[in-house]
Chain A
């Protein structure tokens, strides 16, 4: 696939998701009006007389033909209009933009640690395959990454946050804190960031570790590793210049997929740590049945994941010259 086809397929995907988002409240069982106004009749029966109902339908444009509604919806999205959040009483897009920076901070930090740690551990394991160190590392990594992120987060809160009371257990910054220097603010943010980021990394590390380990094991069976060894190159040199580089290439897109899982994980981790990101908003939206906010949060999370995959795809083409010429 060349670059253009790839870009087209990503655009198609985004249009597909936007379309899905449009139809969701309209085809699901229940009154679309109740989804858009955020008060589903099954939870909170609100009796509307015909006149009021018609007025509301007109206000949300639900009386127009479907195609016109779709056009208005798409136009709205392009203008950044995602509807009105009932629970927060504010435009969904404003709330999301406020939350997005925290999610990106959390995901960015976690991703950096995750990729480096996963690759290094996987490489060490494969390099020592079959030895005691490999077996121990494998068992250890598989065991810790079996913890679901929300459970691990709760354990961290209790063990490290409450009992040791070193780490703050909720939020992204100390409420009402006044910082005398920007450094102090950064430190406070960092302390709040550490536990959620650690939870995210540990809960997901198994995937990338196994990926790297397996890819590296395959590479170590190649003839050119034997050749390198026969040439008398040092073990360290072979591991870095020959094995790791070649083991990374085939798994870059799969690593990007894992980063997608990591972003999924923020939904749970932010919920547990009351971290004010998009994932926490998704949870609030589910809890209060705030459907416009729910759809907005879904859209943002999905777009972040797709963007991450897109960047990885483009990087891959850049790294592997064979892909470019195909």
Chain B
């Protein structure tokens, strides 16, 4: 507990870290309270292609849906996919990373699998698989997790390898502690900071990949994420030569950008805390 408070105190000094956290909290709140914040039901259709006015602050799209409400509900989809995927792949990655760092033989085989996953270019592969499957959120989530865990497993394993032979672990072993006790009580707490950083980084990758796939038209049409809104805007014939891009294309793009930026700032500040050598003379 004392360590957590000290950690938070350190984090408070990091300007980008706080900015990132602020943006994230803003999006999270709007995602969680979407039904209360959004002025309309995002599926409800009104007059199409309306310019921003007092009824529709960001206008309406080509089939008359309120763009602001779409954005607010879209944050639910985008953030849910990002954090759900990164949480599950971090859990799987951590478990396998711990085991493969601790048990040498198992680690050898597991790391060959991880090598394979890391060597295969992930994005083109995900695109073809999703194109062959039916577009649905759960298909996307499954594929992202499938290709997400190896990164975490690799990072956790290399940390476990260096922790495994520390004197206090040896001491615990000599006192007769079982393997799982050592892993859970002596090794896991020491890799928690790494896991948190990895969680944020993975969430950023997923947001980027999900919005990219949706932009290509591979998203779930029944659950519109920010990337999907951008996809429909891009497909609209006169998007580049009329004014409508200002309220149809710009807002979802900026939402994605700011989410990525905030995650980038958060992970950067965390990493700086964990690896002091990266620190400058004055704090960023």
Contact = CB atoms under 8 A, between A and B. Distances in A.
Interface of A: 9, 13, 16-17, 20, 24-25, 28-30, 35, 42, 129-131, 134-135, 138-139, 142-143, 146-148, 150-151, 154-155, 157-158, 161-162, 169, 206, 210, 214, 217-218, 221, 260, 263-264, 267-268, 271-272, 282-283, 285-287, 289, 291, 294-295, 298, 301-302, 305-306, 309
Nearest to B252: A151
Contacts of B116: 13, 16
B265 A286 contact: no
B260 A139 contact: no
B125 A150 contact: no
13 contacts: A24-B132, A28-B132, A135-B280, A138-B284, A142-B16, A142-B268, A146-B264, A154-B240, A221-B277, A271-B216, A291-B131, A295-B128, A305-B121
B129 A24 contact: yes
Contacts of A147: 253, 257
Nearest to A132: B282
Contact of B240 (A9, A162, A283): A162
Given A151-B253, A154-B253, A282 B127 contact: yes
B277 A169 contact: no
B6 interface: no
Interface stretch (B67-75, B86-94, B180-188, B207-215): B207-215
A13 B132 CA distance: 22
B133 interface: yes
Contact of A142 (B123, B131, B264): B264
B117 to A, nearest CB: 11
Q: Describe B's contact surface by its main secondary structure.
A: helix
A286 B218 contact: yes
A130 B278 CA distance: 10
A163 to B, nearest CB: 10
Nearest to A206: B264
B14 to A, nearest CB: 11
Nearest to A303: B121
A31 B134 CA distance: 13
B230 A150 contact: yes
B263 to A, nearest CB: 9
B277 A302 contact: no
Which of B132, B249, B278 lies at the interface centre, i.e. has the most chain A CB atoms within 10 A of its CB? B132
Given A13-B116, A146-B264, 19 more contacts: A9-B115, A42-B134, A129-B280, A130-B281, A130-B282, A131-B281, A134-B284, A142-B16, A146-B258, A147-B253, A147-B257, A148-B257, A214-B278, A267-B124, A291-B131, A291-B132, A298-B127, A301-B124, A306-B119
Given A139-B16, A286-B131, A305-B121, A148 B260 contact: yes
B127 A286 contact: yes
A129 B278 CA distance: 9
Contacts of B241: 162
A218 B277 contact: yes
Contacts of A129: 280-281
Nearest to B123: A264
A218 B217 CA distance: 43
Interface in B260-281: 260-261, 264-265, 268, 277-281
A150 B124 contact: no
B33 to A, nearest CB: 25
B256 interface: yes
Contacts of B281: 129-131
Contacts of B119: 9, 13, 306, 309
Which of B127, B258, B277 lies at the interface centre, i.e. has the most chain A CB atoms within 10 A of its CB? B127
A272 B133 contact: no
A134 B132 contact: no
Nearest to A138: B284
B120 interface: yes
Given A24-B129, A130-B281, A151 B218 contact: no
B284 A135 contact: yes
A159 B217 CA distance: 24
A158 B115 CA distance: 42
A157 B240 contact: yes
Nearest to A308: B121
Contacts of A24: 128-129, 132
B245 interface: yes
B128 to A, nearest CB: 5
A153 B281 CA distance: 37
A221 B120 CA distance: 35
Which of B115, B121, B125 lies at the interface centre, i.e. has the most chain A CB atoms within 10 A of its CB? B121
Contact of A150 (B212, B258, B279): B212
Nearest to B212: A268
Contacts of A150: 212, 215, 230, 234
A85 B144 CA distance: 29
A279 B137 CA distance: 24
A13 B133 contact: no
Contacts of B240: 154, 157-158, 161-162, 169
A286 B261 contact: no
Given A17-B120, A154-B234, A162-B240, A217 B278 contact: yes
Contact of B234 (A16, A148, A169, A272): A272
Contacts of B120: 13, 16-17, 302
A142 B212 contact: no
